[in-house]
Amino acid sequence: MGGGWNRGLSSARSKLTYQQVQEIRRECSLDGANLAAIAREYKVSRRTIRDIRERELYRWVPDSGDPSDDIRERALDSQIQIW
């Protein structure tokens, strides 16, 4: 029997890639960012966009740029479900 849970891309319910999360954070940081418009663009709720912006969701995803090997490995390790 296994235990644990999947998060991020490993989750069957995941709708966003790490790159999309980074793009959303960049868009939210712009002056006059419209959460509803961003939500429509990515086909998610405004609450999801807000939670990504506030790092309540996808908090392990770096804000921008190519993550270093260490960060990438930690992100991938956190995605693996141990059986």
Mind listing the pLDDT tens digit of every residue in the chain (83 residues)?
A: 455 555 555 555 667 888 899 999 999 988 889 999 999 999 999 999 999 999 998 888 887 655 554 555 565 555 554 44
- Residue 13: what pLDDT? 61
pTM of the predicted model as reported, rounded to 2 decimal places = 0.65
Q: For residue 32, give both structure tokens.
A: 């006059």
Measure the CA–CA gap between 48 and 45, rounded to whole angstroms: 5
